């Protein structure tokens, strides 16, 4: 047997791990309602806009299948810099690095910054790669708390307590996955006030859901930072509805020029992995450069599906939720003690008996996510209603069976 590294053997990605039993059921001929994956394309009515698809196809037709520059196509970097600048900070073309999605940007950032013994401070619960990847570089992810009974707002006291010189990255996911919390100007300023006391620390601002803010409070972290270095992350996956294109970016905001060496390391890593997909970059460029009025209709669909879920949850005994301010997730609390103590058992049993697929909350944080599940509310109204009918039936059945 060829040995596998500990690093690979310990990786977990809850969102896709639950797909394994779902596939087994599908192989037996069952149809599964999948509310587990944050992919708008998996649901009706939220297609990638045609002008972006055309631009991608046109690029292929012109034969643009070659490698492109390692930091991204010049035109795309320009369009991203303009877009980021419109969010309130001075983003230059050279501040932008195009990657194979935010996911690759994260791997590059971690590889460029983390060393044995260093730490990443990330919200708990959080999108799983923030926990999985840092350990590959000998670093450790420490969670700071989100307040589960206050709309999952950031617990700043907890951040203060956990900051030290080994914390190299302070992560904010805004709007948050999995809770949907949106941090506004006051909160971002508090975060910056803490970070500015720690000269080794860079803020990672994952703003991939910024165009799906229903609270009206979202603000770019870079736009408020006067001294703290910030790496803003965004891309085509969520707000432009094209996650399979695998295009995202990091934009470096460095008011005091403390990231010069880090920038060099990032550029070396980017060159060593060649480039991001060339025609997909052209598709994203079309999205950035064309009229974006189409986004409103996509967003209003997402918003009405959000409302349906809130209304349904309100009427189901055994569920509670803090209304999310953005993104397309709800982090739902299981109030029945039988399930609150084992959210994974709830998800697996619901899948087995009712063929509805959710993700267990503990997959987003063993401690802070326990007793919850994450629901993606992108499915059409009819599908969501069927899913909630089944969840309700399941909770009733097991409540009476267990009492
Ligand atoms: N960041 C967050 C917070 C996410 O929720 C996701 C996907 O679900 C990603 C990044 C992945 O981004 P990309 O598709 O650009 O790799």
Provide DSSP, 88-136: TS---GGGEEEESHHHHHHHHHHHHH--TT-EEEEEES--THHHHTGGG
**What is the pLDDT confidence band of residue 15, given thresholds at 50, 70 and 90?**
confident
| Burial of residue 150 (number of CB atoms within 10 Å: 0-12, 13-18, 19+) | exposed
Q: What is the pLDDT of residues 189-202, one digit of tens each?
A: 999 999 999 999 99
177 ligand 1 Cβ < 6 A:
yes
CA of 11 to the centre of ligand 1 (A): 17
Q: What is the pLDDT of residues 302-341, one digit of tens each?
A: 999 999 999 999 999 999 999 999 999 999 999 999 899 9
Q: What pLDDT is recorded for position 193?
A: 97
Share of the chain above pLDDT 90, in %: 89
Q: Which two tokens stand for residue 324?
A: 């999310």
**What is the pLDDT confidence band of residue 7, given thresholds at 50, 70 and 90?**
confident
Lowest mean pLDDT among 6-15, 104-113, 130-139, 184-193: 6-15
Residues 180 and 305: beta-carbon distance below 8 Å: no
What is the arithmetic mean of pLDDT over 268-281? Answer: 97
User: Given the structure tokens 């990638």, which residue do they identify?
Assistant: 48
CA of 208 to the centre of ligand 1 (A): 7
Q: What is the pLDDT of residues 140-157, one digit of tens each?
A: 999 999 999 999 999 999
Structural domains in the chain plus CATH codes: 6-47+294-402 (3.90.1150.10), 50-289 (3.40.640.10)
**What is the pLDDT confidence band of residue 42, given thresholds at 50, 70 and 90?**
confident
129 ligand 1 Cβ < 6 A:
no
By most ligand atoms within 8 Å of CB, the mutation choice from 101, 171, 173, 237 for ligand 1 is 237
- The pTM for the full model equals 0.95
Q: What is the pLDDT of residues 209-258, one digit of tens each?
A: 999 999 999 999 999 999 999 999 999 999 999 999 999 999 999 999 99
CA of 39 to the centre of ligand 1 (A): 10
Q: What pLDDT is recorded for position 187?
A: 98
**Angle, CA 251 vertex, CA 249 and CA 255 arms, to 5°:** 175
Share of the chain above pLDDT 70, in %: 99
Q: What pLDDT is recorded for position 13?
A: 72
**What is the pLDDT confidence band of residue 403, given thresholds at 50, 70 and 90?**
very low
175 ligand 1 Cβ < 6 A:
no
Ligand 1: which residue has its CA nearest to atom 12?
102
Ligand 1 atom nearest to CA at 243:
14
Q: What pLDDT is recorded for position 364?
A: 93
127 ligand 1 Cβ < 6 A:
yes
* Residue 55 Cα to chain centre, angstroms: 26
Q: What is the pLDDT of residues 156-181, one digit of tens each?
A: 999 999 999 999 999 999 999 999 99
Ligand 1: which residue has its CA nearest to atom 8?
38
**What is the pLDDT confidence band of residue 125, given thresholds at 50, 70 and 90?**
very high
Q: What is the pLDDT of residues 64-121, one digit of tens each?
A: 999 999 999 999 999 999 999 999 999 999 999 999 999 999 999 999 999 999 999 9
Separation between Cα atoms, residue 371 and residue 17, nearest integer Å? 18
Residues 6+ apart with CB under 8 A from 299: 211, 212
Number of Cα atoms under 13 Å in the Cβ half of residue 88: 10
235 ligand 1 Cβ < 6 A:
yes
Q: Is the pLDDT assigned to residue 383 strictly greater than 50? A: yes
CA of 217 to the centre of ligand 1 (A): 21
CA of 393 to the centre of ligand 1 (A): 33
371 ligand 1 Cβ < 6 A:
no
């Amino acid at each position: 047997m060829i040995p596998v590294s500990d690093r690979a053997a310990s990786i977990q990605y809850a969102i896709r791990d639950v797909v394994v039993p779902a596939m087994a059921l599908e192989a037996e001929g069952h149809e599964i309602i999948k509310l587990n994956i944050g992919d708008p394309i998996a649901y009706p009515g939220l297609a990638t806009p045609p002008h972006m698809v055309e631009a991608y196809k046109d690029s292929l037709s012109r034969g643009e299948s070659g490698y492109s520059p390692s930091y991204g196509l010049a035109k795309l970097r320009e369009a991203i810099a303009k877009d980021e600048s419109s969010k309130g900070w001075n983003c230059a073309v050279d501040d932008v690095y195009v990657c194979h999605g935010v996911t690759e940007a994260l791997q590059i950032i971690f590889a460029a910054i983390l060393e044995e013994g260093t730490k990443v401070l990330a919200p708990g619960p959080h999108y799983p790669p923030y926990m999985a990847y840092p350990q590959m570089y000998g670093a450790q992810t420490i969670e700071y708390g989100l307040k589960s009974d206050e709309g999952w707002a950031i617990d700043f006291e907890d951040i203060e307590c956990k900051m030290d010189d080994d914390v190299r990255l302070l992560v904010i996911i805004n709007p948050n996955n999995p809770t949907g919390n949106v941090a506004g100007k006051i909160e971002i300023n508090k975060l910056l006030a803490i970070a500015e006391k720690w000269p080794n620390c860079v803020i990672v601002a994952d703003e991939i859901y910024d165009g799906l803010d229903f609270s009206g409070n979202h603000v770019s972290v870079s736009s408020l930072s006067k001294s703290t270095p910030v790496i803003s992350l965004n891309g085509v996956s969520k707000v432009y509805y094209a996650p399979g294109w695998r295009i995202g970016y990091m934009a470096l905001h460095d008011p005091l020029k403390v990231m010069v060496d880090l920038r060099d390391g990032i550029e070396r890593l980017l060159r060593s992995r060649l480039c991001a997909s060339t025609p997909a970059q052209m598709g994203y460029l079309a999205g950035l450069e064309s009229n974006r009025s189409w986004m409103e209709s996509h967003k209003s669909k997402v918003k009405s599906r959000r409302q349906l879920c809130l209304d349904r949850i309100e009427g189901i005994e055994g569920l509670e939720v803090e209304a999310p301010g953005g993104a397309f997730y709800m982090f739902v609390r299981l109030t029945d003690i039988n399930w609150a103590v084992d959210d994974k058992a709830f998800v697996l049993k619901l899948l087995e008996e009712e063929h509805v697929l959710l993700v267990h909350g503990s997959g987003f944080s063993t401690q802070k996510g326990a007793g919850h599940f994450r629901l993606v509310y992108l499915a059409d109204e009819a599908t969501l209603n069927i899913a909630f009918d089944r969840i309700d039936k399941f909770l009733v059945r097991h409540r009476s069976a267990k009492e």
